[in-house]
A and B are shown apart, each in its own frame.
Chain A
Amino acid sequence: MPDPAAAIEVENLVKRFKRTTAVDGIAFAVARGACVALLGTNGAGKTTTLAMLLGLVTPSAGTIRVLGEDMLRHRHRVLGRMNFSSPYVDLPQRLTVRQNLDIYARLYGLADVGARIAALARDLQLETLLDRAVGRLSAGQKTRVALAKALLNEPELLLLDEPTASLDPNTADWVRGYLEAWRTRTGATIVLASHNMAEVERLASDVLMMRRGKIVDRGAPRALVRCHGRDTLEQVFLALARETEPVTP
């Protein structure tokens, strides 16, 4: 039975690509309104997990329920209620910011496209960029545009893959602040994959530590630090990434 309080329920999720097992039997649940981080090194399985949550990649085994719907059978029932952003996925570079947002607003079935774009442009400081081609924007500006695309439909579930990768500290801090305020205001659920400890500690209430496709530990950032007898989340991350035995208190 699906848990109505859960935004995401994942059980025994496996993804194999030929001989590689990218995700190896993970299980987790994310409560509605929570912000959960997937933390792990490159190749740990974070992006593949996010892609399966979005229905972009079909699992080899396991089940995924998102907002109460079975993603393997009924993903189209729920895709309009979620969204995502990733620095590894572009928007059409030759189209302007406004054109991109206009197309995605229509794909998500929004009623008042112009008003929504105007509101997001105001919130994300994109007003002067609306008629500029996306390909001509700086990395920070592109991140704000990608975020605008991801927030167009006011998603109940937002999936973020390294939301501040390649941003300068000032822009990254602005993006984190915006996401914090947005989640507080809307009560939406966020799942983010990141390598950035500061980001995870600031945004996430819970962390799933991944290594080689498995969840090797989980908990609140401070609880993980305490539990592993380390001083920072980064030390916990490095210890797990380097396969050292966790120090138990």
Chain B
Amino acid sequence: MSAAPAAAFSGRRVGAMVRRYVYLLVGSGPRALELLYWPIVQMILWGFTSQFLMTNSSYVARAGGVLLGAVLLWDVMFRGQLGVSVSFLEELWSRNLASLFASPLRPIEWAAALVVMSLVRVVIGIAPAALLAILLYHYSIFALGLPLIAFFVLLLAMGWSIGFIIGALLLRFGLGAESMAWAAAFLLAPAAAIYYPVAILPVWLQDVAWAIPAAHVFEGMRAVMFTGRFPLQHFVAALGLDALYLVIGVGAFLVAFEIARRRGSLLQSGE
């Protein structure tokens, strides 16, 4: 039996890695439940908060669901990032990196598999919460229409960028950097203007906010909800920033991988 020659990029190897994470997800009830749990809890919490504010806040009353929409979209970004980071961590926890990279698998194929799994995890996590929001609060995020697709993709791409940068840190510092996987997104949350307009931030923080794709998305979401118009300038800005950060994120990940080979840490990863 002879193995197939190693192509520069193989969809089959990407598929093999996706299969590896799907096996893990399907075989572990707690892992699958955890995907659903937090988005639903968040949605219920913010759903009641929205109901209360609808009668007590003119801002929320003008566009019911502005908070729920923000919660669900922020979860797209956060779950998208976790989808990359947690799948990455699975290899460190299982001390599997050496076996993987002694095989023909290339780092860029692994990165592609992490992205696919991130998408799978986001859909599994967010879709039930979005459907429950319709049942419980009569709020449908799908009412955003076509802009929703743009917001979804832009936030997902931002999550991937952060996920790859965390992956690079994990390759460099090992499991000592594990907590970054859960904390990093929240470092950006205040400036991402999820629940409030960027204009509310101090001037210096507004400059930071405009460098974050999510801030443009949430401004765009509010514009669609309040005015019914899709703000193209925010879309273009978020798209450009996402492209830049994805190049930086994937680049950092690939460089960290080569550094790990120099340091011999592919062999030593694990608990």
| A residues 86-114 in Cβ contact with B at 8 Å | 86, 88-96, 99, 102-104, 106-111
**Bound CA–CA A76/B266 (angstroms):** 17
Q: Which stretch, B20-28, B46-54, B117-125, B158-166, touches the partner chain A? A: B20-28
Is B20 in contact with A109, judged by CB distance below 8 angstroms? no
In this assembly, does B172 line the interface, its C-beta being within 8 Å of a C-beta of chain A? no
CB-CB contacts below 8 Å: A167-217 with B: none
Is B100 engaged at the interface, CB distance under 8 Å to the other chain? yes
B264 touches A79 (CB 8 A): no
B19 located at the interface, meaning its Cβ lies under 8 Å from any Cβ of chain A in the complex:
yes
**Known pairs A56-B101, A57-B264, A109-B12; A92 contacts B6 (CB<8 A):** no
Least distance between A67 CB and chain B CB atoms (Å): 12
Residue among A22, A51, A91, A106 with max Cβ neighbours from chain B (10 Å): A106
A56-B266, A80-B3, A94-B27 known; A107+B104 contact, CB < 8 A: yes
Give A56 to B266 CA distance when docked, in angstroms.
7
CB atoms of B94 and A106 under 8 A apart:
no
Is A83 interfacial (CB 8 A cutoff)? Answer: yes
Residues of A within 8 A of B6 (CB): 76-77, 79-80, 109
B95 touches A48 (CB 8 A): no
Given contacts A17-B263, A57-B266, contact A103 B20 (CB under 8 A): yes
Chain A residue at smallest Cβ distance from B109: A107
Q: Given that A76-B106, A107-B103 are contacting pairs, would A88 and B2 also be in contact in the complex, using a CB cutoff of 8 Å?
A: no
Known: A106-B15, A109-B12. A90 touches B95 (CB 8 A): yes
A55 to B102, CA, bound (A): 7
Which range holds the interface residue count of chain B? 35 or more
Q: In angstroms, how far is the closest chain B Cβ from the Cβ of A233?
A: 27
Q: Which of B90, B94, B95, B267 has the most CB of A within 10 A?
A: B267
Query: Please, how many angstroms separate the alpha-carbon atoms of A99 and B23 in the complex?
Result: 7
Residues of B near A80 (CB, < 8 A) are 3-6, 103-104
Residue of B nearest to A186 (CB): B1
Interface size on A, residues (CB 8 A): 44
Min Cβ gap A52→B in Å is 9
Q: Whole-angstrom distance between the alpha carbons of A107 and B98 in the complex?
A: 13
The residue in B1, B24, B95, B262 that gathers the most chain A C-beta atoms within 10 A of its C-beta is B1
Which chain B residues (1-38) contact chain A, with CB distance < 8 Å? 1-6, 8, 10, 12-13, 15-17, 19-20, 23-24, 27-28
Instruction: Say yes or no: A56 contacts B94, CB within 8 Å.
Output: no
Q: Enumerate chain A residues within 8 angstroms of B10, measured Cβ to Cβ.
A: 109
Q: Does A58 contact B (CB under 8 A)?
A: yes
- Could you give, for residues 73-107 of chain B, a 1 whenever the CB lies within 8 Å of some chain A CB and a 0 otherwise? 00000000000000000100011101111111110
Give the Cβ gap from B3 to chain A, nearest Cβ, in Å: 4
Contacts of A104 in B (CB 8 A): 16, 99, 103
CB-CB < 8 A to A22: which residues of B? 264
Provide the bound-state CA to CA distance between A57 and B262, in Å: 6
B104 near A109 (CB under 8 angstroms)?
yes
Bound CA span A108–B5, Å: 9
Which B residues contact A (CB, under 8 angstroms)?
A: 1-6, 8, 10, 12-13, 15-17, 19-20, 23-24, 27-28, 90, 94-96, 98-106, 258, 261-264, 266-267, 270
Q: Given A15-B264, A103-B19, list of 5 further CB < 8 A pairs?
A: A57-B262, A79-B6, A83-B102, A84-B99, A153-B1
